[in-house]
A and B are shown apart, each in its own frame.
Chain A
């Protein structure tokens, strides 16, 4: 097994001064290059877990190690998020005033790349997600599936090690959902990026190599590559 890229040790997250426990002691490791889905019913703590992995939120107790380094000791979490993590959200969260190619460039403000380079990279990424014909459209002029593809291109803007996707197909019809799921798989394969995808949909959960099942803030199962689960009928992405 490859060395751990992300390691969670006894993560607990409690909201509202102890009234709500979203995560109750979650431990796992994710290796570099893995495609892991986190499945579970709503309220199981999936999104909270994703936010903690992405350094948007801190655990109440427990620790997250990234490439062996404790996130709490990291001096510049903004830089960590900008360079290492790419986020994809359920509601896309593109900036409505910017065109597709501009939206992809938004995370690049935190890099040293010159303006022309940023633009060139944004165009290449939109090409990668199959939207080279939609570069200068505003989000309002794009379909849901197209918006999510722009968001995926944005998540790759700074060449992150990890893409964290929070219900990326949750707002999409089944046709667009399939396109987006396939796109994530091909990006995973083609770029070797680690993907952690949260979903409540068992079919989507099956596109990963491995599925962490989360129930009531605890890990209820860790299934590898099509070993059972409702999504087992779909072909796995990797041999």
Chain B
């Protein structure tokens, strides 16, 4: 017989109470896993987009409080093209629109014949042929959500377009997007000659050390603009940051509630066993073995809760990923580091919830404990 088998049997003494405590911890951990996967999934979805496009830097006007930056004349793009280390620069227009019955979607306007198109793999159909054509290219997930295929008409705002092709991209967010020739999107949104992002492709010779200088030159050439790393663009987005902060806060509250639940359960079980603890002390158990026993009980509850929470959190993310609003907006690949962190947090909660009960249990004197009614 090991100490652990005593611990385990103590937990099974009140199986329902133990189970409910585990559920309490599991809810907290599941919230952490689901909310952080989603919040950070937005971030990663965006950095994937720019990596896939072969874009090293993104230039945008940052004064805006809108989720999308304000537009500016596309003539400014030429100021970036001449900078050392810049191989190509393309002005694009990005917007979010409601198309037919589908939820709001990302709509991109790209100039025909520029490098941003290069990374797309056509699944069906063809690319739009000219800047003025009323043709759209749908991401694979967007096509699915809209229920459209090649040749179908599609109503965007006031204009009718034809689906000329369906593409897939290695970036999840792009698969949920709709692509138009730049001029058509400019006309559609009454922003003739305007763009709101510059995608910058850097020369192959550019290294990590050259980046700050290039960003500096861009920001000097275009006052009031900021050049972002591919990974930074989402980090600069206030909406995403607020979402992240809120999901962290929500998770923390859930975790604290779970930890209090563990402490309550373990404390109750210590109070119920005062005489037993007295007997253990009387027959020669050291106080540190009593502490270890109580801490192990607490850790056991929280670890089981942690494992259950990770499993249900991942399941929740998969379910959310089937909801049209989230489809194609987040990358939900399992982040091992985050899962290990969640497990570590649950162990920490167990230790936290067990310390006080363990201290209460170990500071009893055997005679008082034995007399306890």
List residues of A whose CB falls within 8 A of some B CB.
51, 54, 56-57, 78-83, 85-87, 89, 93, 95-98, 102, 105-107, 109-110, 115, 118-119, 154-155, 157-158
Contact = CB atoms under 8 A, between A and B. Distances in A.
B300 to A, nearest CB: 14
A85 B279 CA distance: 13
B9 A54 contact: no
A97 B13 contact: yes
Given A93-B279, A109-B289, A79 B2 contact: no
12 contacts: A56-B282, A78-B286, A79-B284, A81-B282, A83-B284, A87-B282, A97-B12, A102-B5, A105-B1, A109-B3, A115-B2, A155-B283
Given A89-B279, A97-B9, A119 B1 contact: yes
B6 interface: yes
Contacts of A109: 3, 285, 289
A114 B9 CA distance: 21
Interface in B278-322: 279-287, 289
A51 B283 CA distance: 12
B286 A110 contact: yes
B366 A82 contact: no
A98 B9 contact: yes
Given A51-B367, A57-B367, A102-B1, A95 B283 contact: no
Contact of B1 (A79, A87, A115, A158): A115
Nearest to B5: A102
A56 to B, nearest CB: 4
B143 to A, nearest CB: 60
A148 B83 CA distance: 92
Contacts of A81: 281-284
Contacts of A102: 1, 5
A71 to B, nearest CB: 14
Contacts of A107: 283-285
Interface in B228-247: none
B276 interface: yes
B6 A97 contact: yes
B122 interface: no
Given A97-B9, A102-B1, A115-B1, A56 B286 contact: no
Nearest to B366: A56
B329 interface: no
Place the interface of chain B in its size category.
20 to 34
Contact of B283 (A79, A96, A154): A154
B360 to A, nearest CB: 18
A103 to B, nearest CB: 9
Contacts of A89: 279, 370
Contacts of B280: 106
A105 B284 CA distance: 12
Residue of A51, A83, A118 with most partner-chain B CB within 10 A = A51
A120 B279 CA distance: 23
Contact of A87 (B283, B286, B289): B283
B294 to A, nearest CB: 14
Nearest to A103: B1
A239 to B, nearest CB: 33
A118 to B, nearest CB: 7
A30 to B, nearest CB: 19
Nearest to B11: A97
A87 B13 CA distance: 25
B81 interface: no
B284 A158 contact: yes
B201 interface: no
Contacts of A93: 275-276, 279, 370
Interface in B100-143: none
A82 B284 contact: yes
B365 to A, nearest CB: 8
Contact of A97 (B10, B289, B367): B10
Given A51-B367, A56-B367, A93-B279, A82 B285 contact: yes
A82 B280 CA distance: 10
Contacts of B365: 56-57
Contacts of A105: 1
A106 B293 CA distance: 13
Contacts of A87: 279, 282-283
Contacts of B2: 115
A51 B285 CA distance: 16
Contacts of B13: 96-97
B180 to A, nearest CB: 70
A78 B285 contact: yes
Nearest to A83: B284
Given A51-B367, A115-B2, A110 B9 contact: no
B34 to A, nearest CB: 36
B342 to A, nearest CB: 31
Nearest to A86: B283
Contacts of A56: 281-282, 365-367, 370
A110 B275 CA distance: 20
A98 B3 CA distance: 12
